[in-house]
Structure 1
Amino acid sequence: MGLSDKDLLVLEEALLENPQLGDVIEGTGGARKMRIQLEGRGKSGGGRVIYLDVFEQENLYLLFAYPKNVQENLTPDQKKAIRKMIEAIRKE
């Protein structure tokens, strides 16, 4: 997706301030989706970030990011793959 250092910093600050900022995505085992505006891309050039907040471990995992103009929502196969990743993360 081409996140700039500034994009990553803004994302990191927002999630550190409020890890539950994004909406929970059904069928993923707890992943959240957050909309982000990408530097220099205008209003329609935003992206989506899929992440997991593991409160009890005090960890936050960036799982997937994509531009909004490529894909609006996750496919069932993507949700299934993310659910498997989350199951593995929670076993750590």
Structure 2
Amino acid sequence: GVLLQRYNRTDDVVFGAVVSGRPSEIAGVETMIGLFINTVPVRIKTGEGDTFSELLRRCQQNMLDAEHFSFQPLYDIQSKTALKQE
């Protein structure tokens, strides 16, 4: 994320991270066949005076908070954004 910020000369970037696993929250997951792989959006936003360690802590907390959405389809996430697909 920090590298993308540098290349694009911005302090706010979004990219996709691949996640995999079988969340126990899904009813009947033990009887399902197939790969449980998804791409979830990750946003890295830095502010004036942020240290790298603060950024890492914030990213870690954001990933932990977003973990229960890891099985949400990407098209469903995109449909709920203000951005329109062209």
TM-score by length of 1: 0.33
Structure ranking higher on relative contact order (CA contacts 8 Å, 6+ apart):
2
Give the structure with the larger strand fraction: 1
Computing the radius of gyration over CA atoms, which structure comes out larger, 1 or 2? 2
